[in-house]
Structure formats: structure tokens, C-alpha cells
Amino acid sequence: MSLLAAVVISSNRDACVAAAVVEERVLDLVACAVVEILEGEFSRIAAAAASLAAGAALSHLSPSSSPFLFASAKLADRGRVDSARKQQQRRQWQQRKAKASSSRRIKKNGNPIEEGGAAAYRGNRGGDDEKILEGEARRLQHDEEEASEDYVGNDAVGSIRGAGEQRQRSDVTMLHPFDDSPDSSDTGGRHLSSQLTGCCTQYISYDAMQMCSLYGEDCESGEQPSHDSGDDSCEQEGLSFIGVSFSVNTARGNPLSYQLCDQFPMENIIDREYEYVMSMDEDGWLVGGGYKSFDYSGKMPYIDSSHTELLRIGSVDPEYGGTTIEQVYEAMESLSFPPFAIFPEYVKGGGGHHSSDDGEDKSVPSSDVTLIVSVVDTYEDGDSYSSYEEFLDDLFDAMDAVGGGPCMDDHDTDPHVSMSRGVKFKSSYHQSQYFYNANLEVAVWQAMYPKGVVIGSEGYASFPPDTGSKNKMHIGYGNLYFFFDRANITQAFLPNRDLSSTEKYYSTLYSGGQSDGFYESTTTIGFDYNKASGSGDNNKEQEYYEHNPYGWNAKMAKHDMTDGWDLPPSCNQEGETFFGIPLSQRSDSKLMSSSSFQDQFDFEYLTDRNFTYIKEFGTNHGWLVGEQIGNGAGSIVDKDTAHIPLFYTGTTNPDMGGMSLDSLIKIAKEINFGTLYIKPAFVFQDDDGSVKLQFEADANSALGYLYSALCQMIGISWNYDSPYNDLGLYTNCAMHAAGDRAKYGCGPENGNSGGFCPQMTLAYRVAFESDDQAAAYLERCNDYVDYWRSLYPSGVAVGTSKFCPDGGCLALFLNRYDIFYAFKPELGGSWVEFMTGTFAPTISPAPTYDGGCDNPHNMHLDNCFKKKHARKATAVAWDSLGSVGQFSLILIAFMSSTLAISIFLARAKRRRQDGESYLSFLIRDIKPKKKKKRKKLRKRVGRGSLDEDLLDDDDEDEGGFRSVPARPGRQSTKNIKSTNKGGRPPRSTKKADQPKRSRSKSRSRRESSSTPKARGGTSGMDMDENVEMVELSKSKDADVKSARSSRSKSRSRRESPDKTMDANVKNTKLSRSRSRSKTARSRSKSKSGRKTPTKVPEAELNRRQLV
């Protein structure tokens, strides 16, 4: 039976389309289209036919020749199957919708749900009844799915029953990349790493405005400011001002904070430990030292910006009615003012855009915390105007004289110090306790400074902060400052005189350590501080409230960052840490440095720098995609912080219920997610006034599966669902439930009851010039979004050549400012990415494919990369030296080489031959020279016993001593020299000769008395030597006598002693030669004698043993 016949019989067009898509039969799909034409729904079938035709054409290609196209074809097939399945479900919903009444409330597990479904939450301002009914139908479909799974919806008030059950759900198998268990057939059991590339193909033909309608948002209108300056000529509101700074530098605050106030310890009036406060906006405490980057709360790492405004300058762009910075400097330099004293009044609450002062919102109210101060009026010489009032009059006159713009306020600002915004206390009791402790500190200040105190410090600072030490100045006391924005002081203006002794005493009272007595004596508060502290009426007691953590729901993950969080159970501290996708680019600002994390989108086209459409920002923040220095609105000069938050993990303090950073990193390393593709959908303004860029929330994409994996691993226990992971690491402060999934997030195909909704915030609380201007701005932005949608029809994996070159990486954010860690998809590695610095990748669980590092699939994993690109030991040692060590080695090598060259040139200059080149000389000098043969000198051997063997046994017989006779040849030579000099020998000659002769005689006697056989025939040699010695002495005596007789003769006959000396020398040489020959003969005889030792009689041996 043909497919067309089946359609006619069954009249099920969706089944026809599904069958044709699955079987890839184009003709049958055309047959289905004929039936669809009759119903007027040809467009849907035409789109399916076009995509199927493309898939059929790609199917003829070889996967090996074109793997990318083949994968795209598979992706298109998957999209068509899902489309057919969902369209069939939509038809079923419409049939059920006809049976249900539009006024009937749909119940889920006995809990009523408001009519309108997603429209009630997302603020469907169009009021389209058809969309509301479709939302109810989608809820009905999800109700059936949840009933089968025993799932209680996240949008209902939750219960913690079963929160302690750490049971593993079947869809946890998605964390294991190759789990073939039967439980993995569910959508949650798909392998993240094998996810096909691309996303968001369901609405590929929709433009931005159509997508905005599908998501239930309004992209044609915007909010207008509730108030303005009252001057129509001011086209741009600004935040620049002149005021007094209370900034302090504390150990727990930002180390770059100024120390400009030694009088008020502002850290004593804040709750940094979260004893009373539950949450605040993303800026946290604006006083008390600021925040560090690694603060547990994840607040913005700003410096201390505590101040009080004296005059709001507003915009600094003269084209829009502002006053330039140069005009402000010129006006202030023309003024003369004394040091103004500041008196602390009290700390109060109230105010804020979500303060609940009107009583409409019954949840935990949020408010601003403010320190009220006043400028002390001093009068001189009986004047009716105080010094401060005269200064204000002179200031307005000076601003008018320099041509100040109309955006400047026409009156001075009520002095106050904004401490924090969007503060939510744990309960009304905690709120009252906080204000009591804070105002008790203020009471101590009032006791120390009964008439106020001049603010200042003895330190040094540089203004503006980017000048560093180039513009460092002594701070002093009584300064006024120009604040370009809340966090940037650009100029300090000094008073016209120094402090008096009394003023100096009070200004240095606290810094001098003299405040202990005031703290001990002040125990009560002597003023009324319960003024607008969240009650709305000063004379009325504050209404009781308490935070209910069980009223938390999963939709709270889509949070307004200008307000505090509602924390889940067992969480005692808020946190802004989250997993997300970085989209920022390098900032042009010199005050803030940032890195580029993507090259695919340029969000500058979505901003309105010239304030053509926008009137003002409701906060001190301007464009979050990067603000310019010198911007006319005076917004904080932030770097580009564009990102898509995916999963808010909460505080990183485990003691307060959170999870530490190292635990979060371990969890992320365990998730084998695919390449993260994103696709812009539209730009809109939400109910909180923030302008956002919505991305398509495709629950079947790798981004959707990653969100589901994070929920089931580290989501909080909620509605009988508990998280599970192999590491056993959990948190109570995540803003996502363990049972939440991407399919419950925002979007036309999802349940609109969960926290999955990829959005990027462009600006907070934007106020447009008019409704038409808002529509024009949104239309301009969405036109560019349409261009991106056509450029990336299947989404894009963002990245750069230096950061995540393959695209699709995940990042761990400490806060909106700082990225701390990055993770590549498919367990490809992870590394530290912090403060524009990148460190070596860490070890990830690898390899994941068979074959180890030989498999090309594992080439990007850390272990394989390290093996194939292992660095040499020399390179590692060279890098370990650092820049200083490397420069030192290079300098030593250079100096050594120059020294060697200098030595060579000096050597060549002395030894180089005529006409010889330096190279020839070098070669000749390098060649080894032939050594000259030296005549070997015969060793002279003496006549004494030193010539004998040192190990001779005869030494023992002689008592262990050896007598060394004198050398007659040397002695005769000395005698001859002495005779030649003086004509007669010296007096000591005879005395010296006598003992020598006696020793020789005694030795000859001892040697002659010894046994001839034992001596080896040496006695004859000794006798010959004695005879020669006697003859030599006789010749010496004759010489002496001849020398004495010749003294009386004339000098002409002095040649006879010379002849005698020659004869003596000849005799001496002759005697030496004879002695050498005799010594040689004696050695030979002694050796032969040792070879045949003489036997000693037994009687002699016994006698020796007895001795």
C-alpha cells in the first residue's frame, strides 16, 4: 500500500510526514504535501522537503571524502525527525485544547497554577489568547510526562521531603561517555561527547521578531524614566559629581582602595560576615574597603567608593547638555573654601526599586542601606550665611561663568553615603539587629566628634588612578574631589587653609589610637534611627517578615543582578560564581584590561553610545559590553564583561553551605560535554528594565545537555530529587534544582518552569527617551541579529586563535568580571584563565578512546599532548631562570665573548707574522706545537747511606738510625770559593770539618766491625772512601799553607792560587766519578747479597729472642 493511500485512509498528515522523513522518500513527502495544500499548510511541508532534498543530495557523498557535510546531513535528519514528532504532539495538544475550557485552571498534583502559563511569568504584554492556550497545552503535555516520572513541578512551592536521599537517577548515565546500558535510551542518557555539531535548526527560517513572539517577549516597547532633571534641554542624564570621599583601605577589602578617611572606620557598619544580611546586588557593600577578586560572595571586585555628593554635575558631554571636565576644573580652581566638617547622623534602610515599601510584594523586601551625614555650618564674623552656603552659591556662579550645561542639578544634594543596594535581610529581626549595631557604632562616632570632623588622611594618592606614581600627592584634610564615576576620582581640590589645633586633634583622634575610651563608654543610642528602615512609616512599627527558603523555585535562576537573591534551604551566604560562556573582547579602556574570548560577534552594534534612543541608566553601570573612558553619562568604566550565564553555583564558602572552587573544577572535569554552539534569537527589554540578547534555548543541543548534567550533579536537593556525582561533592547554594532539566527552561519548545534560559545582559535598568525610541532601538538591534542568524544558521562555537581555537568552551566565572578556569569540550583539557593570564593546562581524565595516544581522537587530550609535545629539559631550565636570570646569562656570555676576542687580538698583535692574516694566525695558533727534545740530565747520586734501600733490614741492626756522611765535593767547592775570595778559608771551616771527619771515622769503624757477609761486601768501598777523604784533607791543608805564604808576595804573583783551584776542581771531579763507580759496584753486590741470605745460627737466634 502506498504512503498516499495510508494518508487518505488514516487522515493522519503528521504520521505521513514522519514516515516520509524517516524513510527519506522525497516523492512520498510530495504526496503528503498535496494533502497539506488542501489544508493551507504548505509552508511547513515545503521547508521539510527542502531540507530533505538537501539531505538526500548529501547522502550521495562519501563520508570519508566529506565528513563535515555528512555530519551536517545527519544533523538535519535528526532535526526533521524531532520536528515531525513535536508537530504531531502539538496536534494532540490542540485536540485536548478544544475539550478544555479556556477559563478552567489546570491542576498539577492538587496545586493550582495561574492561567497563562509562561505568559504570566515572562510578561506577555501582547495578551494573545491563542498563545496563552498554547502555553496551557504545553503545560498539559509536561504534566503527563511529569506524572509518569513522579515529578513535582519546579514552579510550585517545594518540599524537602527526601532531600537526604542520595539516590542515583537513571539519566546520570549521561556522564559516562560510552555507557551502553538500557537506561540510557532516554534523552538524558545521550552521550555528551558524541553530540553532533550545531544547534537550533528548528526555527532556522524565523527572524528575530518572530522569535521574540515565540518566546513571549515584547520587542517593540521599552521603559521610560520616572523622573528627569526638569530641563528639556538636557538630553543625557549623567552621574559625575563633586563630593567628599570616605574611602578606606582594609585588610579584607580591595588592596587598590584609597585611604582617604582616617576618621570613620566604615568597615564597622557593614555585615561582611552575613550574620544579618541574606543577599545584595552584585556590587555588594560600596563602603568598608571594597572586594577582592576571590571573595566568597563573588561580588564585583571594585575599590571602596564610599562618598557623599555635594553637587551633581550630571553629563559631561556638552552636545547633550552636559558640562565638560575642563569646565568643572576651571570653576573649582577659581573658588576658595575652608575645610568642611562632616557630622554622622544615622544609618537607615528603605528605598530601592524593589523595596516593597508599598506592601504589594509579600516576599522578603529589598532596600538600600544608607548612612545619613550632614555638613556642619560654621559662621565667621557674624555672617548670616554659613561657610558651606556661601561655597554653594559661589560654586553655582562659577559653573555658570564657565558655561555649565543644563544637566547639572540646580540645587545641592542631600548629603548621604550609599552603603549597599538591593539588600535582603534574613528576617525583620535580623534587620533590626543590624541597624541597632550599625547605629551604635555611629553613636560612638558622635561621641568622638560632637561638632563634626574634617575628613582626610596623612597618606599619599594619585588622581586619576591610572597615573600611578607620576601624579602622587599628599592627601591632607578637608579636600573635595571630582568623581567622574563612583569608582574613579580624577581630581582633588585643596582647601584654602590648614587645620586649626582643635580641628587637627579631632581629625587625628581615631588614627592616633585614642578611641578606646569612647567605645567603652558608649553603650546606648541617643537618637532615632528607625527612619524608613523598611517600614515605610516612621511612626509605625515595622511589619514582621522572615525568609522562607522553601518558597524557592527553579525560575529564580533567571535573576535580576541589581537585587538580592532568595536563597534555598541550608544556604547562609549568597554567591555570584557561575559556569557560563565568555563572549567578551579586548577592551580599549586603559583603566581595565581584558582578554578576547570570541571573534564571532561584535556587540558594539547593539549599543547606543550617542544616547540617540536611551535617556539614562538606572544604575552606575553603563554598557556591560565595555564602557568608554570619558563617556558622557559618567558610568563606571568597566571592561567588556559579555557572557552567557548557564549555571549559578552560589558561594564558594563551604562553611556557609557552598562549594569551594577546587571542587567546582573537579566536577567540571568529570563532564564529557560536546562543543557548545549558540545562536542569537532577538534583543528585548525584560520586566526588570534590563536590555538583553536572547539566545535560542535548544534543549537538545550540547548546551542543553550540559545544563542538565550540571543540575543532576551539583543541583540542590529539591522535590524528591537529589544530586549525584562520583566525587561526592555537593552544595546547598546553587540556584538550580537537581531535578531541573533543559527541557523545563524558556522557549516555545520547553516548559518555561526551569532555569535554562541562555541570555546575555547588555545594560541594567535602561530608560528610553520614548516608546517610539525604544521600538526603534530594538528594531535596529534585531536587524543585526537577523544578520547573525543568517550567518550562523546552525549556531556557532565561539572562540579565538588564542583562547579555545576549536570553539565551544566552558568557563568558570568568579564574578561577572573575572574568568578563573576554562574547560574544552570532550575532555580536551582545562586551564587557568585569570586576569589576562593563561597558565598551562591541567590533567584531565584521558584518554577516552581505545588505542591511547596513538588514536587521533585523543590528540587534543592533555596527557597525549604532553607526550607528543614534551619540552626539552634545557627549555624548561631556561624558562625556570626567569627574565632576570636569562638576561644575566646572556650578559655573561656577551662579556665572555668580548673578553676572548680582546685577548685574541692582543695575542695576534704580538705574535702575528708580517703579512699574515688574523685567520691564518688563528689556525696556526690553534695547531698544537711540537715540543722541543730536552737533554735528559743524569741523576746525581750521593755517597751517603741515602743511596741504599730504605727497607734494608740492616737499619734495625743499627738501632733504626742511618748516618748520612757529608758530601766532600760540595764542601770542597765551598772551601775553594772562600779561598778565592779572601785568600784564606774562613775561621769556621776547620771546626766544621772536624766533626764531619769524626762522624766518617766512627761510621767506618762501625761498618768494619759488622759482619762482612751480612753487609754484602760494602766494607771495602768504605775504606776506599776514607782514603780519599784523607787525601782530600791533605790537599786542602796544602792549599791553605800556600795561600798564607803568598800574602807577603806582590799582587802580580796572585795567579798561582787560581791554578791551584783548577787543580782542586779537577781532583774533585775525579773523586766524584770514582765514588759513583764504587757506589754502583756496591749496589750490585748488596742486591746479590740479599738474594742469598746468610743463615744465622740457632744460638744467635735464641739470644736475639731473649733480648
pLDDT value, residue 943: 52
pLDDT value, residue 558: 85
Buried b (16+ CB within 10 A) or exposed e, 475-501: bbbbbbbbbbbbbbbbbbbebeeebee
SS3 1037: helix
Phi, psi of 1046 (to 5 degrees): -85, -5
C-alpha cell at 425: 535581610
- Provide the β-strand partners of residue 314: 240
Residue 562 has pLDDT above 50, yes or no: yes
Q: How big is the chain by its Cα radius of gyration, in Å? A: 51
Q: How would you classify residue 1038: left for phi > 0, otherwise alpha for psi between -120 and 50, otherwise beta?
A: alpha
What average pLDDT does this structure show over 301-310? Answer: 93
The C-alpha atoms of residue 316 and residue 611 are separated, in whole angstroms, by 13
pLDDT digits (tens, 9 = 90+) for 960-990: 445 555 555 544 444 444 444 444 454 444 4
Residue 971: Cβ-neighbour burial (10 angstroms; 0-12, 13-18, 19+) = middle
Residue 959 has pLDDT above 60, yes or no: no
Q: Among 611-620, 1043-1052, 1067-1076, which range has the highest average pLDDT?
A: 611-620
233 vs 258, more confident = 258
- DSSP symbol at 19: H
pLDDT value, residue 1030: 52
C-alpha cell at 817: 568580571
The C-alpha atoms of residue 663 and residue 725 are separated, in whole angstroms, by 12
The C-alpha atoms of residue 311 and residue 737 are separated, in whole angstroms, by 48
Residue 357 has pLDDT above 50, yes or no: no
pLDDT band at 853 (very low <50, low <70, confident <90, very high): confident
Q: How many CB atoms lie within 10 A of CB 588?
A: 12
What average pLDDT does this structure show over 542-547? Answer: 83
pLDDT value, residue 183: 39
Calculate the alpha carbon distances from 364 to 43, 351, 560, 619 in Å. Answer: 50, 14, 15, 22
Residue 1060 has pLDDT above 60, yes or no: no
HSE on the CB side for 415, CA within 13 Å?
A: 20
Q: What angle do CA 29, 32, 35 make, to 5 degrees?
A: 155
The C-alpha atoms of residue 200 and residue 748 are separated, in whole angstroms, by 12
Average pLDDT of the chain is: 73
The C-alpha atoms of residue 703 and residue 512 are separated, in whole angstroms, by 58
Amino acid at 932: K
Residue 759 has pLDDT above 80, yes or no: yes
Contact yes or no for 341/451 (Cβ under 8 A):
yes
The C-alpha atoms of residue 23 and residue 9 are separated, in whole angstroms, by 20
pLDDT value, residue 234: 80
What average pLDDT does this structure show over 431-457? Answer: 95
What average pLDDT does this structure show over 1004-1015? Answer: 44
299 vs 113, more confident = 299
Closest by CA position to 634, among listed 654, 646, 620, 651: 620
pLDDT value, residue 527: 92
Flag the least confident range among 130-139, 461-470, 860-869, 1070-1079: 130-139
Buried b (16+ CB within 10 A) or exposed e, 387-415: bbeebbeebbebbeebebbbbbbeebeeb
pLDDT band at 383 (very low <50, low <70, confident <90, very high): confident
What does the H/E/C string look like for 794-833?
CCECCCCCCCCCCCCCEEEECCCCCEEEEECHHHCCEEEE
Residue 597 has pLDDT above 60, yes or no: yes
pLDDT band at 73 (very low <50, low <70, confident <90, very high): very low
7 vs 415, more confident = 415
Q: How many percent of the chain have pLDDT more than 90?
A: 40
C-alpha cell at 686: 525584560
Contact yes or no for 68/61 (Cβ under 8 A):
no
pLDDT value, residue 157: 34
HSE on the CB side for 978, CA within 13 Å?
A: 16
Q: At 648, which helix (H) or strand (E)?
A: strand 643-650
C-alpha cell at 808: 565551544
The C-alpha atoms of residue 576 and residue 282 are separated, in whole angstroms, by 7
Cis bond before residue 1012 (omega within 30° of 0)? no
What average pLDDT does this structure show over 1041-1063? Answer: 49
pLDDT band at 716 (very low <50, low <70, confident <90, very high): very high
Longest Cα–Cα distance in the chain = 171
Q: What is the DSSP string of 749-776?
A: TS-SSSS---EEEEESSEEES-HHHHHH
Contact yes or no for 21/52 (Cβ under 8 A):
yes
Amino acid at 1010: S
Contact yes or no for 240/307 (Cβ under 8 A):
no
Q: What is the DSSP string of 681-709?
A: EEEEE-TTS-EEEEE---TTSHHHHHHHH
pLDDT digits (tens, 9 = 90+) for 390-415: 999 999 999 999 988 888 887 778 89
Contact yes or no for 574/565 (Cβ under 8 A):
yes
pLDDT digits (tens, 9 = 90+) for 501-523: 999 999 999 999 999 999 999 99
666 vs 987, more confident = 666
C-alpha cell at 546: 522572615
The C-alpha atoms of residue 482 and residue 240 are separated, in whole angstroms, by 8
Question: Which residues make Cβ contacts (< 8 Å) with residue 977, sequence separation at least 6?
Answer: none
Closest by CA position to 442, among listed 289, 265, 253: 265
Residue 580 has pLDDT above 50, yes or no: yes
C-alpha cell at 441: 557604632
- Provide the β-strand partners of residue 375: 342
pLDDT value, residue 882: 86
C-alpha cell at 216: 513571549
C-alpha cell at 564: 538580592
Flag the least confident range among 615-624, 739-748, 983-992: 983-992
565 vs 118, more confident = 565
pLDDT value, residue 161: 30
pLDDT digits (tens, 9 = 90+) for 25-72: 444 444 555 444 444 444 444 444 444 444 444 334 333 333 333 333
The C-alpha atoms of residue 825 and residue 803 are separated, in whole angstroms, by 13
pLDDT digits (tens, 9 = 90+) for 774-823: 999 999 999 999 999 999 999 999 999 889 998 999 999 999 988 999 99
What average pLDDT does this structure show over 116-123? Answer: 33
SS3 309: strand
C-alpha cell at 156: 510550585
**pTM assigned to the model:** 0.62
Residue 119 has pLDDT above 80, yes or no: no
pLDDT band at 856 (very low <50, low <70, confident <90, very high): confident
SS3 322: coil
What average pLDDT does this structure show over 337-364? Answer: 75
Closest by CA position to 716, among listed 571, 827, 522: 571
What does the H/E/C string look like for 60-118?
CCCCCCCHHHHHHHHHHHHHHHHHHHHHHHHHHHHHHHHHCCCCCCCEECCEECCCCCH
Closest by CA position to 251, among listed 212, 225, 222, 290: 290
HSE on the CB side for 462, CA within 13 Å?
A: 9
What average pLDDT does this structure show over 991-1018? Answer: 45
pLDDT digits (tens, 9 = 90+) for 891-932: 999 999 999 999 988 988 888 888 888 888 888 888 877 666
| Beta strands at 759-763 and 453-454: parallel, antiparallel or unpaired | unpaired
Residue 1075 has pLDDT above 90, yes or no: no
Calculate the alpha carbon distances from 1049 to 691, 859, 1045 in Å. Answer: 138, 115, 8
pLDDT value, residue 220: 85
C-alpha cell at 557: 535562576
- DSSP symbol at 240: E
Flag the least confident range among 148-162, 385-399, 700-714: 148-162
Closest by CA position to 682, among listed 778, 569, 813, 544: 778
Q: How would you classify residue 833: left for phi > 0, otherwise alpha for psi between -120 and 50, otherwise beta?
A: beta
